[in-house]
Structure 1
Amino acid sequence: MLSHEDNETLVRVGPGTTMGDMMRLYWLPFMASSDLEKDGQPQTVKLLDETLIVFRDSEGRVGLVDHICPHRGAPLVFGRNEDCGLRCVYHGWKFDVDGNVADMPAEPPRSRLKDRVKIKSYPCVERGGVVWTYMGDEPDESRPALPSFEWNMVPEENVVVTFRVQECNWLQALEGEIDSAHAPILHGRIDDGGSINQWVAKRDLRPTFECMRQDFGMSIASRRVLDDDTLYWRVNQFVMPFFSLVPPQSNEFYELSGHAWVPIDDENTLCIMFSYRPDEPLHPKSRKVFLDGHNGRETGHPSREGFDDQGAQVPFGRYVSKYRRETGWLFDNEAQKTTWFSGLPGLWVQDAACQSGVLRVYDRTREHLCTSDTGIAMTRRMLLETAHAFRDSGKKPDRFDDPDLYLVRAVSLKLPKDLPWAEAGKAPMTAKVGEGLGYEL
């Protein structure tokens, strides 16, 4: 368990907090490019407990600016997005994507006021259909490069990226994915159907864990016995500051996957899921079930029909799902009795309900960690050491600004029992865009 003080250090992400300020060192993914139309309706977003407005101007540039007009405090979400700027509907003040005032209709022509007024803005870059922003203090010339995450650099046909809001702190969500012990249990069935029941990890529900600290974060390896001579290793990756990578499964629909667990505020998380193949298009069936669900159930991705759009005035309103605390995640007690171990309608819903069903910020002093929580305990320790060093001396995480640091893959390996996973996995855990896995699933 964590002390109350350590828990507070890790979960608080607003301006002036240790974790919030450290996360501002990094580029943050936060929206699908396709959800921003030229001169379209501005959208409210919230990142690291800052409420902002995002819009795409007439020339296709993305602006991320303060949500309040500096004139008299009117909400800019109602602004007219036109002629390369966002015009407040109250008095017509107009702002460009950099926060500069482009027009003040009620001011005299010779007024110098617009030269003295500027709203907060953050730079945005698009790559692979995702909008990223940098909320740190570094100027253009010393700003870190966009991280070279493989999922964000493969061709469009190789990847699916989806967005949803989850009602809990970012760390609770992250820890659910780096904990691989839960997967064959929470996601299992009580009948004989489904791929989870045939999954090799289902054969051994008591994995042994080994962790290795890396420059990028942490490798969490789970070992299961396959037979007398062979071990099955699944190595999940935690990549600073909030990314998790999940190994592929052994079937024709394999893909590499993971999440960015982007903090909205202390109690809500923007969950960006990516599934991809590095060297070939995703299987058409995989793409379809990711986007549409399967037989009325959710996969690891939120389905297109599963959203409950809350409108542009709600932060990330279009990414709010009907499967949430307010609706009880549409738990089905009859399905729990007959088919699904959890009774919850799909993979990500099962995870989200367990991660956020009790408290949005869980009191970790009440935990009783066990052997299968080794990866979680080690990751927390690493995060605390990094956060304390940053808070106490200003030391930034090693190589955080090296884009190639993020060329990482999670792996699933069947190895002779005397071959160390770290040795066998060193090459396949290094991502090479355009190249295959480098091993047999």
Structure 2
Amino acid sequence: MLSHQDNETLVRVGPGTAMGSLFRLYWIPFLFSKDLVADGQPKRIMLLGEDLVAFRDTEQRVGLVANACAHRGAPLMFGRNEDCGLRCVYHGWKFDVTGAVTDTPAEPAKSRLKEKVRITAYPCRERNGVLWTYMGPQTADLPPLPNLEWNLVPAENVHLSMRIQECNWLQALEGEIDSAHAPILHSRIDSKGAINKWLATRDLRPTFECMRQDFGMSIAAKRRLDEQTNYWRVNQFMLPFYSLVPPQSKHPELSGHAWVPMDDNHTICLMFSYHPSEPLPPRMREVFEHGHNGRESAHASQESFVKRDPSTPYADYWTKYTRENGFQFDYQSQVDTWFSGLPGLWVQDGACQSGTKPIFDRTKEHLGSSDTGIAMTRRLLLEAVNAYRDRDIKPSGVTDPDTFMVRAVSLTLPETTSWVDFGRSHMQAKLGAGFGYQL
């Protein structure tokens, strides 16, 4: 379990907090390129507890600025996006993507007020359909974008989705680096479907080995297939908030999430599924986009979203599965078919991660040996936070973009073969290269 103080350190992400300061050292994926249209409606954004507005100007430049106008604090989410700037509807003050004031129509013609005023604005970059922002120290030399394989492969090789989850970022992250839950939570009880053929279901009591890496933590779960053979699934945690999930033989794609904190109680779940060297099959993409037989896949389907008022941060990405409706739990389904009774993969995860409250009191936990990866990752995070706060030491991935060229792996190995030795080269992502081993 965590102490109350350590829990507070890890889940509080607003300006001036220790964890928030660490997050702000990194480029953060915050929206899809398709969500912003030149001179189109601005989008209200919440990131690390900051109330912001995103817009694309006339010349296709992306701005991410404070929601409050620098004049009298009127909300810029109602702003007119026109002529290379966002104009406040209250008195017409206009701001460009850098936060500079370019027009103050209610002031005298010779007024120089606009030269002295700026609003908070964060630099943005676009790469392969994803918008990134840097909310850290605004210096002349910003760190490079991270080289994440899912954001570098061709568009036909990857499927991206986004949804909002109503819990703190760490609860969401820990659900995905926990390899022990998958063959239990996601299982069927009617012996139908591919889920019952997972190799992982043949041993529900895995043993764990964890290894610190420059990028974060490798969390290896070993399951015994027979006396001579082990099945290893190695999940990866990459600072500051990424998780990577290994492929399976029947689902040969890599996947994972960026668990981006909106605030202390809400998380942007940006999910990626991709094949490193081949286009995704059309049927796989269809299941990701629309689910299967009325159930959700690992991605939030288009049918799962409930559009909210544009004044809501991330109004397009809230789903119909909530604590208030019990994530649409179906008891009869639990009796007849699905172990959990919850309608699909990501809903099963989300319900367990956020079903009680946005921030769970971790002093009430009772961790077991299957939680080794959770405990080690928490320790790593606390050490990283303390090193930066107390000694100004930054993690290596802040300045070295190739730190993030990592893959999760699933390995069937002889009892005498080390997953570390065999898996080392396969855990290195090489753009355009296949898995390099038999799934």
Q: Which residue in 2 is equivalent to 1:250?
A: 249
Unaligned runs of at least 5 residues, structure 1: none
Q: Displacement, 1:400?
A: 2.5
**Match runs of 1:48-127 below 5 Å:** 48-127=48-127
Q: Which residue in 1 is equivalent to 2:283?
A: 285
Contact 2:239 2:397 in 1 (8 A): no
Q: Which residue in 1 is equivalent to 2:148?
A: 149
Any idea what SS the aligned residue of 1:45 has? strand
Q: Which residue in 1 is equivalent to 2:319?
A: 321
Any idea what SS the aligned residue of 2:398 has? coil
Any idea what SS the aligned residue of 2:348 has? helix
Aligned counterparts of 1:48 and 1:279: Cα–Cα separation in 2: 34
Contact 2:220 2:232 in 1 (8 A): yes
Q: Which residue in 1 is equivalent to 2:189?
A: 190
Q: Comparing 393-402 with 181-190, which one deviates more in the overlay?
A: 393-402
Any idea what SS the aligned residue of 1:326 has? coil
Aligned counterparts of 2:379 and 2:189: Cα–Cα separation in 1: 36
Q: Displacement, 1:408?
A: 0.2
Aligned pair 1:162/2:161, yes or no?
yes
TM-score, L = length of structure 1: 0.98
**Match runs of 1:341-352 below 5 Å:** 341-352=339-350
Q: Which residue in 2 is equivalent to 1:23?
A: 23
Q: Displacement, 1:138?
A: 3.8
**Match runs of 1:236-385 below 5 Å:** 236-251=235-250, 253-385=251-383
CA offsets 1:261-283 (integer angstroms, 9 cap, x no match) = 00111111000000000111011
Aligned counterparts of 2:138 and 2:36: Cα–Cα separation in 1: 26
Q: Displacement, 1:103?
A: 1.1
Q: Which residue in 1 is equivalent to 2:34?
A: 34
Aligned counterparts of 2:17 and 2:363: Cα–Cα separation in 1: 21
Q: Amino acid of the residue matched to residue 180 of structure 2? A: A
Q: Displacement, 1:140?
A: 3.2
Aligned counterparts of 2:40 and 2:182: Cα–Cα separation in 1: 41
Aligned counterparts of 1:305 and 1:61: Cα–Cα separation in 2: 31
Q: Displacement, 1:311?
A: 2.3
Any idea what SS the aligned residue of 1:181 has? coil
Aligned counterparts of 1:132 and 1:36: Cα–Cα separation in 2: 13
Q: Displacement, 1:399?
A: 4.2
Aligned pair 1:404/2:402, yes or no?
yes
Q: Which residue in 2 is equivalent to 1:13?
A: 13
Q: Which residue in 2 is equivalent to 1:389?
A: 387
Aligned counterparts of 1:173 and 1:274: Cα–Cα separation in 2: 15
Q: Amino acid of the residue matched to residue 125 of structure 1? A: R
Q: Displacement, 1:326?
A: 2.5
Q: Amino acid of the residue matched to residue 135 of structure 1? A: M
Any idea what SS the aligned residue of 1:64 has? strand
CA offsets 1:306-336 (integer angstroms, 9 cap, x no match) = 1011122111111101112222211111111
Aligned counterparts of 1:352 and 1:17: Cα–Cα separation in 2: 26
Aligned counterparts of 2:323 and 2:130: Cα–Cα separation in 1: 27
Any idea what SS the aligned residue of 2:325 has? helix
Q: Comparing 406-415 with 187-196, which one deviates more in the overlay?
A: 187-196
Indicate the RMSD between aligned Cα atoms, in angstroms: 0.9
Aligned counterparts of 1:340 and 1:109: Cα–Cα separation in 2: 69
Q: Percent identity at matched positions? A: 65
Any idea what SS the aligned residue of 1:51 has? strand
Q: Which residue in 2 is equivalent to 1:210?
A: 209
Q: Amino acid of the residue matched to residue 389 of structure 1? A: A
Q: Which residue in 2 is equivalent to 1:43?
A: 43
Unaligned runs of at least 5 residues, structure 2: none
Q: Which residue in 1 is equivalent to 2:415?
A: 417
Aligned counterparts of 1:236 and 1:399: Cα–Cα separation in 2: 18
Q: Which residue in 2 is equivalent to 1:432?
A: 430
Contact 2:228 2:415 in 1 (8 A): yes
Any idea what SS the aligned residue of 2:161 has? strand
Q: Amino acid of the residue matched to residue 294 of structure 2? A: G
Aligned counterparts of 1:400 and 1:424: Cα–Cα separation in 2: 28
* Count of matched residue pairs: 439
